[in-house]
Structure 1
């Protein structure tokens, strides 16, 4: 036991010393912070997912008995996203289509939404992958520029836009219980939660990597594509 403690007392400082010599103190502090944030959020997600799995049989029974809310079809979802019918329940997520972390988070969210058709996911680098959402019109409506999407995910909910950590918290509100409890994150002061979010966001490529834009998960969720597939290649009004 003493040998292991002694070994760790030598190996850990030695490893940290080599890391600092190669990358600098600031990189070490940043990476430790990223590990802490990811570890904390991962633990919370695991706990929430365990609770979700326990609730799932009751949710399935409710759906089988016909008490669950009716799901929208693809045409309704497209109308909602474009604002042709209403903006009250409009839900659009603008995310980084080449970020592996962002794509994994998106897939997770879609699998936990009561009605995935209610939410439109749009990679900001390739808005035409989801042609039922007009990104330029959204930029004009909410007064933002595409550059702002590089470091912060954005959520358009009705007539408001949310950024970064607040956008993630809003997305969690749309998911099955107990994930809406993520709203408790709003207790953390905005400067602190935004700094934590940006620390991960600015290091996401280095930590999690990138993927081809054409393989982003939203490309295969677009209601517009399902409508075209269902009704042929004819254009809709």
Structure 2
């Protein structure tokens, strides 16, 4: 990964990434993964403030963001949380996603006492087995009419 990709809003200077509204955190997820789609539905229910937007990794914008961050655009081994213009991945991205939900969910930050390599190991264990354990959809997750405005692309 090039160093400039670690800068906030670096994707705005990437000609291969279409412009998109980035004034709220965005969760880029594997739209064919049953677990990931279930996570999005969970987040929609518990994001009472409506702060998150969602984007399927299989979309043109999702693919461009995966490529921008040096990730394989055909093997979605990590969700991406774009927050304040920064791409967050693996356990860190997931913990920040969960802690941004209303209610008791910020208490998830207590697991940060564990070393990052252990958190990422657990994340990768789930990610590499998600299709086997939870299944795969033939088509990407489709939002309902009520939630459509929360999705990009």
Identify the TM-score tier after normalising by the shorter chain.
0.7 to 0.9
Structure 1 position 148, deviation (Å): 7.9
Larger of the two Rg values belongs to structure: 1
Residue 196 (structure 1) aligned with residue 102 (structure 2):
no
Structure in which a larger fraction of residues adopt helix: 1
Residue 123 (structure 1) aligned with residue 62 (structure 2):
no
| TM-score under structure 2 length normalisation | 0.73
User: What 5-or-longer segments of structure 1 have no aligned partner?
Assistant: 1-80, 128-133, 226-237
Distance in structure 2 (CA, Å) of the matches to 1:176 and 1:98: 26
User: What 5-or-longer segments of structure 2 have no aligned partner?
Assistant: 1-19
Residue 82 (structure 1) aligned with residue 82 (structure 2):
no
Q: Work out whether residues 120 and 222 of structure 1, in 8 Å CA contact, stay in contact via their aligned partners in 2.
A: no
Residue 182 (structure 1) aligned with residue 121 (structure 2):
no
- Using CA pairs below 8 Å that are at least 6 residues apart, which structure has the higher relative contact order? 2
Q: 1:92 aligns with which of 23, 26, 41?
A: 26
CA 149–180 in structure 1, closer or farther in 2 if over 3 Å, else same: farther
CA 224–196 in structure 1, closer or farther in 2 if over 3 Å, else same: closer
Residue 102 (structure 1) aligned with residue 28 (structure 2):
no
Q: 2:96 aligns with which of 170, 184, 188?
A: 170
Q: 1:159 aligns with which of 64, 85, 105?
A: 85
Q: Partner of 1:176: helix, strand, or coil? A: coil
| TM-score under structure 1 length normalisation | 0.49
